[in-house]
Each structure stands twice: as C-alpha cells, then as structure tokens.
Amino acid sequence: MSEPTDTPCPVPASITAAWIGLMRAQRIVLAAIEADLKAAGLPPLGWYDVLLELARAPEGRLRPFEIEKRTLLTQYNLSRLIDRLEGKGLVQKELSGEDGRGRWVVITQDGRAMQARMWTVYSRALSDHVGRKLDASSADALAGLLAKLTD
C-alpha cells in the first residue's frame, strides 16, 4: 500500500517559485514595455534589438547569422524580420562579396533614427517598469542570479 502522492513533485518549491516568478515577471514587464512602444506608434521590441545591434556594429552592418547569435532570434524569424525592416526602409540588404552564400544587412539613416526614437520610449519604459521597482543593488543581484541560469 503506497502513499498517494497528491503532488508527485521532486522539484523543490523554491525552484518552481523562481521559475514561475521568472515567467510572470518577464511577461508582465515585456507586455508593459510593448504597450508603451505601441502607444507611441512605434514597432515592437524585436525591431529595436536588431536595429541596436546594427547601429553598434562597425559600419552599421552585420551578417544575418551574427544578428541571430546576438538576439536569440531563430533563423527563419530573423530572415523575415529583416524583410520587414527593409520594407520600411530601416535596413538594406547587400550581397556579400567574400562569401557567396551571405548577405550584409546595413542599417540606414532612417534605421538609426528609428533606433534612437525607440530608445527614448524604451528607456523611459525601463525606468518605469523596472527601475522604479528595483534599487541598484537589487538589480545587480537579480542580474547575477539570472546569469546563473544561462550558462
């Protein structure tokens, strides 16, 4: 006669609490930030990530696979996101001379302007939805703990 295990849970409660908190916090804060961007008539955060990487890159250009690594976007989603960015004139695609398989993605002036415009809204949203909730030492501690999850 075995004990009925109502919750057959080999996972410590502290672990599940951390995981649920991680999901909740990310969703809630992300939704709040996206809402602020949308309210300002700006595109979603994914666009910003790509534009920022390009803006920081030497000559404002990167290969798609480099963007992919930096942003955690999947290959097929990035391929289409780049098409959308190009459609809005924020980036240009160029053929790569060295590697016949490759393309260059180059940020345009409009793209740099959009990145800057998005940052004004994004930074304020970050202050509102993250900065207001955490002091510097808490933020450091949080970043440190989260980093443990990603190696």
Partner DNA sequence: GCGACATAGATGCAATAGCATGTACCTGTT
Partner DNA sequence: AACAGGTACATGCTATTGCATCTATGTCGC
Least Cβ distance, residue 42 to its own copies (angstroms): 16
| Count of beta carbons in the 10 Å neighbourhood of residue 85 | 24
Closer residue to DNA in complex, CB, 102/131: 102
**Partner from DNA, its own copies, none contacting 149, C-beta within 5 to 8 A by type:** its own copies
H helices of the chain, in order, are 13-39, 45-56, 64-71, 75-87, 109-126, 136-149
- Name the helix (H) or strand (E) containing 91: strand 91-95
Sign, CA torsion 22/135/49/123: positive
Q: Does 109 bind its own copies (CB under 8 A)?
A: no
Closer residue to DNA in complex, CB, 100/144: 100
The DSSP secondary-structure symbol of 3 reads P
**Partner from its own copies, DNA, none contacting 15, C-beta within 5 to 8 A by type:** its own copies
The one-letter code for the residue type at 42 is: L
Closer residue to its own copies in complex, CB, 69/94: 69
Residues that bind its own copies (CB under 8 A): 8-12, 14-19, 21-30, 72, 116, 119-120, 123-124, 126-127, 129-131, 133-134, 136-143, 145-151
